[in-house]
Amino acid sequence: RADTAMYQAKASGRNAFRFFTAQMNADVHERLAMQNHLRHAIQQGEFELHYQPQIDLVTGHVSGAEALLRWHSAVLGTVPPARFIPLAEESGLIIPIGEWVLREACRQAQQWREQGLGPMVMAVNVSALQFHRSDPVEMVGRILSETGLPAECLELELTESLLVQDGAGATLETLRRLKALGLRIAIDDFGTGYSSLAYLRRFPIDKLKIDRAFVRDIACDPEDAAIVNLIVDLGRILKLKTIAEGVEDPEQLAFLGARGCNEVQGYLFARPMPGADFAAYLDSALKA
Ligand code: C2E
Ligand code: CA
Ligand code: CA
Ligand code: CA
């Protein structure tokens, strides 16, 4: 039957259109179904955070962790964030989900501190909708006091597009109020969005996170190498820390180290892992 449909799709423009429409309907249907499951995921306890270490290139120590959301759906199985985060953003569900992520990450970081596994900074991804459609300052302040995590142990990863969205005045004000809490701000996926050098000077930013798209071919592609060099130099001039993500091999590490990038994160050191495994990782890193 599929063969027949394919044959007809090829044979006639009209049928090709119908075939394509059926496929689109199936996609829409699947997305709606996924959104419905997503709606119940928090209360069903289907979310989990994994943690990936960030390594200081000078000391070689673990300086922090990035919290990465995992969804183990009872119905759909494990769904990767690249598939469900966009749906969560479209539906507005990212607001309660993002709050769950922040609370869980802060709670976990504070528990590790109390167990003597710190000092460590917990980095949490914040989506544009969360930043613009809710009161992030109130939420972050409330969660810090609920969990007892000192603000200087929290870093928010914001994307460039988030910063240039809507009138920069409101964004700047929100950033200033967040900074006043005492936390740190990193620009995620730096270089992939609408880079505006102006906002780097104006906004109270602490760190540039070099996207793994630039890091991947750093050792063999002169253009990627030049971009990474530029970002690291820019960081130095503007007194911003730089961290490279997606570091997978020793050649990439050597390049970044020679250029003076401050921190690295990637499979070369560890994959994102559940909290219990990360605690064991921290414990052995401290003893080493
Ligand atoms: P991201 O913020 O750029 O996160 C880095 C992604 O690269 C993660 O994918 C991580 O697992 C992966 N990664 C880390 N090291 C390596 C490496 O050496 N090689 C390769 N190939 N990949 C590496 P993940 O966990 O699938 O997350 C994908 C994206 O989903 C994230 O990209 C982020 O944009 C979003 N995301 C994840 N968790 C959250 C969350 O809690 N809130 C929001 N708003 N977005 C999230
Ligand atoms: Ca990130
Ligand atoms: Ca990102
Ligand atoms: Ca990235």
Instruction: Give the distance (Å) from ligand 3 centre to CA of residue 70.
Output: 14
Give the chain's end-to-end CA distance (angstroms, integer).
62
All residues with CB under 5 Å from ion ligand 4: 189, 211
Q: pLDDT at position 15, please?
A: 61
Element (H, E) at 124: strand 121-125
Q: Which alpha helices (DSSP H) does 134-265 contain, by range?
A: 136-147, 160-164, 168-181, 197-202, 212-215, 222-237, 250-259
Ligand nearest to the CA of 246: 1
The number of the ligand 1 atom at minimal distance from the alpha carbon of 127 is 44
Give the pLDDT confidence of 153-181 residue by residue, as tens digits.
999 999 988 887 656 578 889 999 999 99
Please give the Cα distance from 275 to 278 (Å, whole number).
5
Ligand nearest to the CA of 101: 1
Which residues of the chain are modeled with pLDDT < 50? Answer: 1-10
Ligand 1: which residues within 6 Å by Cβ?
52, 68-69, 80-82, 85, 98, 101, 125, 127, 188-189, 212, 245-248, 266-267, 272
Q: Please state the ipTM of this predicted complex.
A: 0.97
Q: pLDDT at position 3, please?
A: 46
> Could you tell me if 13 and 55 are in contact, meaning their C-beta atoms sit under 8 angstroms apart?
no
Our mutation pick for probing the ligand 1 site, out of 49, 68, 139, 158, counting the most ligand atoms within 8 A of Cβ, is 68
Nearest CA among 147, 70, 69 for reference residue 109: 147
**What pTM value is reported for the model?**
0.91
Please give the Cα distance from 172 to 201 (Å, whole number).
11
Element (H, E) at 167: none
